[in-house]
Amino acid sequence: MKKYLVALGFGALLVLSACGESDNEDGAEEAEAEETKEEEPETHEIKIEPQSAMENDSIIVEGETNFEDGTEIEYRVTDSDGDQQDGIFNVEDGSFDEEIDVSDFTEGEIEVLLGYFSEMQPDDIQEIYGQNGEYIEHDDLEDGNLIFGDYYTIEGDDEDAEIVEGEAMEIDDYTLTVQDYALSTDHEGDDVLVIEYDWVNDSDENAAPHMTFSFTGYQDGVETGREGVVEGVDLGTGQSDVQPGGEVEGAETTVGIDDMDKELELELDVLISFDSEPYTTTIDLDDVE
């Protein structure tokens, strides 16, 4: 009888132990599921309002956002020649601003792109928004990135296109400076404007000055006649071959004059140009000696 009671008591203990283990396992699974649920990152509805404007030789970029401070915003500016300028600025206190210098860019249309790129963000930012932007909600989100773009036009500066005595002008890969004007006549007695200039070879090849530019005169909107040989004018200096970095001073060239009583409009341009943007000036011939 005692043996039966002992056996019965031992069996009951086994049943109770099994029930306890089952309850513990269920509790552990529930706790693990709850912990996993708590650790899953939240999704962020992102607001970002970038604005840009062109002021003089700069692109001004600014905006407000609810991206965390330290989020990196990248930019790329591309001009009509395909030259690019890249950079990064950070969100601070819920906003961002940057001034991008475009003074060295080619005249014409430029493209400005701003972007949030998930894979390029610092580790702490990726922990918040995901390595591939999986925790971001935004209508324009594509492949984890947000990209915004604008276009602007760099206009030519009219003041830079004026021929001014003593001021250097860029003519393709060369620099030309008009130093003086003088009046003379050619061998047929026709009036001529004599132009004295300095010239620098900024290219990486030899070149002769007179093969890189041309001066043209106009009166009443019509090109003036071709001038003949002018005694005392030194055309030879401008015909010399000049190595890269070399320069000539005091070279001379001439432009014909049809009417001494009328102003002469003078144009300076590349010798061969398919997209002409010449330097110009209007000369009162009474003021030239």
Half-sphere exposure of 269 (CA within 13 A, CB side): 13
Residue listed under structure tokens 């599921």 = 33
**Between 7 and 52, where is the model more confident?**
52
Q: How far apart are CA 89 and CA 72, in angstroms?
A: 6
Residue 157: the pLDDT is 55
Mean pLDDT of the 137-163 span: 84
154 pLDDT band (50/70/90 cuts)? confident
pLDDT digits (tens, 9 = 90+) for 9-61: 434 333 444 445 555 555 556 555 555 455 677 999 999 988 889 888 899 99
Residue ranges of domains in the chain, CATH in brackets: 44-154 (2.60.40.10), 158-287 (2.60.40.1240)
Mind listing the pLDDT tens digit for each residue in 52-111?
A: 898 888 999 999 999 999 999 999 999 988 999 999 999 999 999 999 999 888 888 999
The closest alpha carbon to 115, from 97, 93, 137, 88, belongs to 88
Of 149, 58, 61, 152, nearest to 98 by C-alpha is: 61
Q: For residue 230, give the DSSP letter.
A: -
What pLDDT band is residue 156 in, cutting at 50, 70 and 90? Answer: low
What's the confidence (pLDDT) of residue 288?
95
User: Mean pLDDT in the chain?
Assistant: 86
Alpha-carbon torsion angle 190, 193, 197, 203, nearest 10? -70
DSSP one-letter code for 263: -
Amino acid at 43: T
List, for residues 237-274, the tens digit of each pLDDT value. 999 999 999 999 999 999 999 999 999 999 999 998 76
